[in-house]
Amino acid sequence: MMNIYNNMTKSLKANCWSSFISLKIVDNNCFITHRKYISVLANELRSGNIFLHNDKYCEVTEQRQIKQGRLATTNMVSKIMAVLEMPKIERKIERKWAKMGQNREKIVFKNISFIDLSTLKSSSVKFACQAKVDKIEPIKVNVRIQYTDKQKNIVVCLDQNYEDVEIPMHIFGISEEHLEPGMEISVFKHEDKIIKVNLPSSLLATLRKK
């Protein structure tokens, strides 16, 4: 049974690069668990990646590494120096602990700057480099804008199968007057939820000039 499980898991992972698929065996029955994200180290996040943070979709804009030394060495030196009064001993201990301080272990963090895709506001968070985060692999779909429903505050689009796709207006982050019928945009979906749209480069260039 375990051989079948291992073979099926390898096959599914090989053929489903955009999703994480695992198998669970309950009472000799196989159940497929399908998740459209994968846990990665915070150190592996790159600009443009989308990850889950506090149940919100966030897109990485910048990442940088931060090293912080442990403070235990400094605190211990202060306590010893406060007790000892002899100048020679003070100098010896100071040199000894200063040398040890140079070699003390560094704690490495990753500072991630991101855009909260639900509000389009910028923020940042600090992770330990070995911390696990859920990286999203969204599905990209091209659609064409049909019209804007001001009462429902949505933009109605048509996908490649000629089916209506309703997109909340706030996801665009721009005024509805810039969204013209027939305009083609890219929509990014995760678990049937639209989390991001990409506007045409020509429109973005126009908006930058204003």
What's the CATH number where 57 sits?
2.30.30.30
pLDDT band with cut points at 50, 70 and 90 for residue 112: very high
* 44 and 130 housed in the same domain: yes
pLDDT one-digit tens code per residue, 19-32: 444 444 444 554 44
* 162 and 197 housed in the same domain: yes
Average pLDDT, the chain: 76
- Domains identified in the chain, total number: 3
* 201 and 164 housed in the same domain: yes
pLDDT band with cut points at 50, 70 and 90 for residue 56: very high
pLDDT band with cut points at 50, 70 and 90 for residue 100: low
In a domain, 48, yes or no: yes
Per-residue tokens: 167 = 């997109």
178's CB contacts (< 8 A; 6+ apart) are 203, 206, 207
In a domain, 14, yes or no: no
* 122 and 197 housed in the same domain: no
* 75 and 161 housed in the same domain: no
* 75 and 121 housed in the same domain: no
Q: Which of 159-163, 198-202, 205-209 has the lowest mean pLDDT?
A: 205-209
Q: What separation in angstroms does the CA of 115 have from each of 57, 79, 92, 119, 203? A: 9, 44, 51, 8, 20
Looking at residue 17, its pLDDT comes to: 42
In a domain, 30, yes or no: no
| More confident site: 161 or 18 | 161
* 115 and 53 housed in the same domain: yes
What's the CATH number where 144 sits?
2.40.50.140
In a domain, 196, yes or no: yes
Q: Which domain holds residue 117?
A: 37-67+107-136
* 131 and 187 housed in the same domain: no
* 127 and 87 housed in the same domain: no
Looking at residue 91, its pLDDT comes to: 55
In a domain, 27, yes or no: no
Residue 139 has pLDDT above 80, yes or no: yes
* 147 and 187 housed in the same domain: yes
In a domain, 59, yes or no: yes
Residue 34 has pLDDT above 60, yes or no: no
In a domain, 26, yes or no: no
Report the C-alpha gap between 100 and 97 in whole angstroms: 5
* 75 and 96 housed in the same domain: yes
| Amino acid in the structure at residue 143 | V
In a domain, 201, yes or no: yes
Tell me what the mean pLDDT of segment 143-163 comes to.
93
Angle value at C-alpha 39, between 36 and 42, nearest 5 degrees: 130
* 116 and 143 housed in the same domain: no
pLDDT band with cut points at 50, 70 and 90 for residue 65: confident
